[in-house]
Amino acid sequence: MFENLNFSLSSLCVQPAQRDELATLYTVVDQRWHQKFDRLSLLVTVRDQGTLVAAGLVHDSIVAPTSSMNAVELGCMAVRADYRRLGIRQHVTSLRLAHALRSGKTPISVIDSQNPASWAFYERSELWQRERSFEHEGRLKFIYRATEAAWQWAADLPQASADQVAIQLPGAAQPVPSLALPSIPPVHRFAAQFGSEDPASAVPVM
C-alpha cells in the first residue's frame, strides 16, 4: 500500500508552520516537547507523497539523569498509526544514531517501561546497553546508551558521496531521494527487530 517514502534530514531551526505540522504526530505537545525542538541538532521527517507520516529528533535538552557528559538524546520518535510496522522507526533511528555518533556525542535513548516492545528491542540490541533506570512523574523509565559496537558500526558506514541518497523500505518499487546521510544498511538485530516490534501506540518518553 505504501510503496515509496521520502526521508529528509535537517539541522535547521524548525519554523512555526512546520512545528504546527509536526505537532499533529504527537499525543502530547507541551513545554517539554517545544524544548526538545528548540535544542535539536537533527530532525528526520518521513513523508508519503507530501504527507508527513513520521518524525524523530536528536537533541541536547537532556533532563534524564545520565552519567554521560556529552550526551545527545534520540527523542520525539512518532509514526502515524497507519504507517507502523513498516520499518520506518528502524530507519529513522539508524539515521539519528549515525548522526549522533559522527558528531562525536554519546547517544542515549529514554524509554518508558510501559513501552515493552521498545525496551525489549534495546535490551537485545548489541548497539545499546542500559545505563540506569529512574522514575519521572511516577513512571519508570530506562536510559540506554550506545555501546562500543555502535561506534564501530558507525565507523564502518559508507560516507556520503553525493548530496542525495536513496533509502528504500521493504516492498518499495523504486528508491526515492533523501538528503544528507548515506543509505544505512540493516545491522544484525538492530534492523530486523525494531521494524517488527514497532509498538502499536505511542508512549510518552522524556
Tens-place pLDDT, residues 150-202:
999 999 988 643 333 444 444 433 333 334 444 454 443 333 333 333 333 33
- Over pLDDT 90: what percentage of the chain? 63
Chain centroid to CA 125: how far?
15
Instruction: Centre a 10 Å sphere on the Cβ of residue 133 and count the other Cβ atoms it contains.
Output: 13
Sort 162 into a burial class: Cβ within 10 Å, 0-12 / 13-18 / 19+: exposed
Of 72, 118, 115, whose CA–CA distance to 96 is shortest? 72
Residues forming a β-bridge with 164? 179
Please report where in the chains the cell 508512549 appears, as a residue. 203
Q: For residues 200 and 31, is the Cβ–Cβ distance under 8 A?
A: no
Q: pTM for this one?
A: 0.76
Name the residue among 9, 83, 90, 13 with its Cα closest to residue 51: 83
**Cα-flanking dihedrals φ and ψ of residue 65, to 5°?**
-80, 65
pLDDT by 10s per residue, the chain, length 206? 456 899 999 999 999 999 999 999 999 999 999 999 999 999 999 999 999 999 999 999 999 999 998 999 999 999 999 998 898 988 999 999 999 999 999 999 999 988 888 878 889 999 999 999 999 888 999 999 999 999 999 999 886 433 334 444 444 333 333 344 444 544 433 333 333 333 333 333 34
